[in-house]
């Protein structure tokens, strides 16, 4: 199988846009697809071969289709929905799913793609918009070894670290699910700590400085607490994303009959934030569920 050279990417949000531009910089013929016309225009300006609302008109000319959509339901819609692209892809084409999904759902998608003689790499991503823009994501992937040879240039363009978990579809999704357990718990813990500092009348910028130079720090604390300090809850990743992802974590654990007390508590915090109307705000807005405190307001 020859290496991929013409790549379509569906989902030009904060992560997908950076990935698509990284592919363009690496010399790939890159096509981008999103329902947001402004995102499509921005990618065209960056040098995309084509950009538009649907991959369907271009499917037959793609070597690989990369999905960077929000969830499993969107993955299934893009591939198998009313205007699904799967049946229009050339036999032997490669599908790379970067969305966070349950391993069971990824396996089900794999079965349907196999029936169409299409290949799949299960490749969830992490790193945020900045690393996506720099081509320095972490990828937790699984699939046939020969597919990674075929897609080596693709992963070199978008990722600083490619972790090949194993050959079985679903292994990448499982590792990403466990990762999201930590990410969600760390954000919830960071919010709880800063809310307690606010209640104790400790200056929040001082608290942030102490923690980020001490043993209690985490990547999420360092990344998300500045949103609280700035009073800026513009969504980089939303509260509702973690309602979904921690729900996925818990569903996976339930299937394993495995207890997750911390993930359960964090999930309840994000549910509470969503219930109070903060679902579309940045996930740091989970701090707003704590009452009786004053938080910084945006400028």
pLDDT at 69 over 70: yes
Whole-structure pTM value: 0.92
pLDDT at 299 over 70: no
Residues 131, 144, 152, 176: which is the catalytic one?
Answer: 176
CB atoms within 10 A of CB 259: 10
- Banded model confidence at residue 122, pLDDT cuts 50, 70, 90: very high
Half-sphere exposure of 253 (CA within 13 A, CB side): 17
- Any catalytic annotation for residue 291? no
**The domain 175-289: what is its CATH number?**
1.10.1040.10
Spatial CA neighbour of 181 closest among 116, 258, 89: 258
Distance CA 160, CA 135 (A): 7
Task: Print the SS3 string covering the chain.
Answer: CCCCCEEEEECCCHHHHHHHHHHHHCCCEEEEECCCHHHHHHHHHCCCCEEECCCHHHHHHCCEEEECCCCHHHHHHHHHCCCCCHHHCCCCCEEEECCCCCHHHHHHHHHHHHHCCCEEEECCEECHHHHHHHCCEEEEEECCHHHHHHCHHHHHHHEEEEEEEECCCCHHHHHHHHHHHHHHHHHHHHHHHHHHHHHCCCCHHHHHHHHHCCCCCCHHHHHHHHHHHHCCCCCCCEHHHHHHHHHHHHHHHHHHCCCCHHHHHHHHHHHHHHHHHHCCCEHHHHHHHCCCCCCCCCC
Which residues are within 8 A (CB) of 132 and not within 5 positions of it... i.e. 6 or more apart?
14, 15, 16, 17, 18, 19, 22, 125, 158
Average pLDDT of span 188-199: 98
The reported pLDDT for the residue numbered 67 is 98
Average pLDDT of span 9-33: 97
For the chain, the average pLDDT equals: 97
Average pLDDT of span 58-77: 96
**Would strands 137-142 and 125-126 be described as parallel, antiparallel, or unpaired?**
antiparallel
**The domain 6-168: what is its CATH number?**
3.40.50.720
Alpha-carbon separation of residue 167 from 22, 72, 140, 147, 225 (angstroms): 26, 21, 12, 10, 38
Alpha-carbon separation of residue 90 from 54, 56, 94, 95, 113 (angstroms): 16, 12, 9, 11, 12
- Banded model confidence at residue 182, pLDDT cuts 50, 70, 90: very high
- Banded model confidence at residue 298, pLDDT cuts 50, 70, 90: confident
Bridge partners of 205, per DSSP, are none
- Banded model confidence at residue 287, pLDDT cuts 50, 70, 90: very high
- Banded model confidence at residue 291, pLDDT cuts 50, 70, 90: very high
Question: CB burial class (10 A; 0-12, 13-18, 19+) of residue 159?
Answer: buried
pLDDT at 241 over 90: yes
Distance CA 231, CA 194 (A): 13
The reported pLDDT for the residue numbered 1 is 59
The pLDDT > 90 percentage for the chain reads 97
Domain ranges for the chain: 6-168, 175-289
């Amino acid at each position: 199988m020859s290496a991929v050279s013409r790549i379509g990417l569906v989902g030009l949000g904060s992560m997908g846009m950076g990935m698509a531009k990284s592919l363009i910089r690496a010399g790939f013929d890159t096509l981008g697809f999103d329902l947001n016309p402004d995102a499509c225009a921005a990618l065209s300006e960056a040098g995309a071969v084509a950009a538009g609302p649907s991959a369907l008109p271009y499917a037959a000319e793609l070597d690989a289709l990369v999905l960077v959509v929000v969830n499993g339901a969107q993955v299934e819609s893009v591939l198998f929905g009313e205007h699904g692209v799967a049946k229009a892809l050339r036999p032997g084409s490669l599908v790379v799913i970067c969305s966070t999904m349950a391993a069971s759902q990824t396996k089900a998608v794999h079965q349907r793609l196999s029936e169409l003689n299409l290949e799949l790499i299960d490749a969830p991503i992490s790193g945020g918009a900045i690393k996506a823009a720099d081509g320095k994501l972490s990828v937790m992937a699984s699939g046939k070894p020969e597919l990674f040879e075929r897609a080596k240039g693709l992963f070199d363009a978008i990722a600083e670290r490619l972790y090949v978990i194993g050959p079985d579809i679903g292994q990448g999704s499982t590792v990403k699910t466990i990762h999201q357990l930590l990410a969600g718990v760390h954000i919830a813990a960071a919010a709880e700590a800063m809310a307690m500092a606010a209640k104790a009348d400790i200056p929040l910028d001082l608290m942030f400085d102490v923690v980020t130079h001490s043993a209690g720090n985490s990547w999420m604390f360092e990344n998300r607490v500045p949103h609280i300090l700035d009073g800026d809850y513009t969504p980089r990743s939303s509260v509702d994303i973690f309602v979904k992802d921690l729900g996925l974590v818990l569903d996976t654990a339930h299937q394993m009959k495995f207890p997750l007390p911390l993930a359960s508590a964090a999930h309840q915090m994000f549910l509470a934030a969503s219930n109070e109307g903060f679902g579309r705000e940045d996930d740091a807005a989970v701090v707003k569920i704590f009452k009786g405190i004053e938080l910084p307001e945006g400028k």
